[in-house]
Structure 1
Amino acid sequence: MSNKRLAGYMLVTDMDGTLLNSSKQISDENRSAIERFVAQGGLFTLATGRIASSVKRFADTLPLGAPAIIYNGAIIHDFTTGKPVWQRTLNKAEVKSALKRVMERFPELGVEVYSGEEPYFLRENSMTDHHRRMEHFTRPLTQNIEELTEPWFKVLTAWEPARLDEVQAYVFEHESQLTWVRSDDKYLEILPDGATKGHALEHLMELVGIEKSKCIAMGDHLNDLEMIKRAGIGIAVANAHETLLEASNRTCCHHNEHALADVIGWLEREAAEAKS
């Protein structure tokens, strides 16, 4: 398609709960719409809490035109080179101290430390077991936190949603020196300072030379909030957390109803009207 009416636009989407359906697949409708968007000159990329190896199997099948935001904003990763182009890391001493207190108070809380190619499991529960199976993580339970000498990019804590609500209330009051982000009903994460998806998006816009007004970001949960707020057009899927729905500029259909196709169709109509 020679018509480049979407040149200058960048569309950045969350994966789980936004791009992917409940079966963790990209629908044919979404895939076709993304290809149309790129054919018309748009840049497409991803913004996710997932690690590089977990994103790669999707990235390899998509026409990414810009590096992707991974680790919930701690890293901007170029999948064409396989290397990060920007990253932030945790203050390990500060995080270790807080984790010790939180793990003592909530002895059944699952804890994963993201460092290197896969997360290290400091404590397991049914939620981390499910996460391990879903992502095919192979590292055994880590007995000693001091063994984790590589940089830490994030820490994920996992539990049943109602119990994690208790953890969230506690850490927001007693461990507020750290950046805590609820990325899912069952996941609460510690991120580096200045490493939300929103901070990373601002850096990515500068990196690829996209105007804020032409940057569209899509998401569904609280880890997408800063990205939705800092994009030129922040879009929440119909299944999004209430806070996101309130903060967004627009809403679109449910992630099981081809949300990307919905948004790209809207962009195409807007561009056609502007041209006429």
Structure 2
Amino acid sequence: MSGVKHSGERFGFEQFFGPGVWVIAHPANSAGKTSLLECLVWPLRGAPRDLPPDVRSWLRTLSVDVMVAGRPTRISMEFTPMARPAATCRIWAAGFEGELLESADGELRLVAEASGLEDTSRVISGYLMDALRMDHITMWQGKGGADGEGAAQVHGWASYFGACYLNPGGDYVLSTDTSQPYSLFESGVPVGKITAPGLYGPFHKTATDGRQVLAGFVVAETPFAPTMRRHPWRRHIRRLQHDDREEAGGLPQ
């Protein structure tokens, strides 16, 4: 990562993350910890989530080397203020991890490129979903649509990514529904019911064993009162949200 602040001060950051748990720590607030995480998010998600606008305007390059389904991959982004387009992206591939870490961009194999922010998001999303063999999930929204009777919504890589990456301070949620004594925070993995044994497995629209039909979600949930403005929700994996969960033996096998 590299950039130039509005004051003219240049900055850069490069870090190798090996196996294990890594922590970004600083004793003061507003030191840039979240911005560092969000700069990792952008090339991995295809679009920023919570990166402050001023930090976005400072950036000149973002690059991340990752293994994607066993493929050594580099996602590089360049930003040019006042240019059209303001952002470009290239995705590079290497034959093995050492080649990826030791080679410059031009020495690797170019597998995809994009021009502009929307095209960058589309190309990164498409590449990662294809490499991970993921499909878009179509679900029916009960409200909306041209006639107000509902509409299909398609969820792609951003939704998958959101299931893996929590927001800053993401072990807390806000309670805003004051009409109920308790609110419920849920997140889940889509599952389908396997026809023969009656158990559940990961939903996949091209499956032929019954999992191509969305049956429900494995959810993490915890109730919290509206007056409790924040409530920790971690480690509350409880049940399969479907009428046949007991018949199927609970969680997917």
TM class, shorter-length: under 0.3
Larger relative strand fraction: 2
Larger relative helix fraction: 1
Larger radius of gyration: 2
**TM-score of the aligned structures, taking structure 1 as reference length:** 0.24
Higher RCO (Cα < 8 Å, 6 or more apart)? 1
**TM-score of the aligned structures, taking structure 2 as reference length:** 0.25
